[in-house]
Amino acid sequence: HAPPQLGRILPRLAEALLRQRALTRAEEVLARARAAQDEAGFRDDNEHRMVALKVAAELAVARGRLDAARADYARACGVFASTHDADDPMLADCRLAWARALEPGPSARALAQQARDAYQSLGSGFDEERADAEALLAR
């Protein structure tokens, strides 16, 4: 059995690999993370499963699979919204990423606005993220 720590750590490693554009390696690590989460008995709405799902969505965007990405973002953001405060940075990041994956329109605008409002309430440490949300709102 994989230790539960792997289910918590590996999604973050996959996220770091994704940022480095090591997509295949990120996918491999993400698959291992999900297997570790299954072995450890993480619930379907576990925060670490949602981090893994958000990383899966980001990988889907990078691979041009926008429909899969949108579905994964919808699930992850929905769980984060039910378990986190409205101004939680994890929820704001999820909403902003989901807004980017959508076509411009009311849904993307609402998500970007929620993310911007959260970043604004979080203060100056989130100026870059707030600016990204504002740029989406301006398109």
Q: Tell me: do 102 and 44 sit in the same domain.
A: no
Tell me, yes or no, whether 79 and 104 share the same domain.
no
pLDDT in tens, 14-53: 999 999 999 999 999 999 999 999 999 999 999 999 999 9
Question: Domain boundary at 83, 103, 124, which?
Answer: 83
Q: Is 40:62 a contact under the CB 8 Å cutoff?
A: no
Total residue length of the chain? 139
Is 34 in the same domain as 66?
yes
pLDDT attached to residue 3: 82
Q: Which residues contact 1 (CB under 8 A, 6 or more apart)?
A: 39, 40
What residues make up the domain containing 38? 1-83
Kindly give the confidence (pLDDT) of every residue in the chain, 139 residues in length, as a single tens digit, with 9 standing for 90 and above.
778 899 999 999 999 999 999 999 999 999 999 999 999 999 999 999 999 999 999 999 999 999 999 999 999 999 999 999 999 999 999 999 999 999 999 999 999 999 999 999 999 999 999 999 999 999 8
Of 64, 50, 65, 66, the C-alpha closest to 99 is: 66
Q: Is the same domain home to 78 and 121? A: no
Q: How many C-beta atoms lie closer than 10 Å to residue 63's C-beta?
A: 12
Residue identified by tokens 């411009």 is: 104
pTM: 0.91
- Mark out the alpha helices in 1-139 (DSSP H runs): 4-19, 23-40, 47-62, 66-83, 89-101, 106-122, 127-138
78, 99: one domain: no
* Amino acid occupying residue 40: A
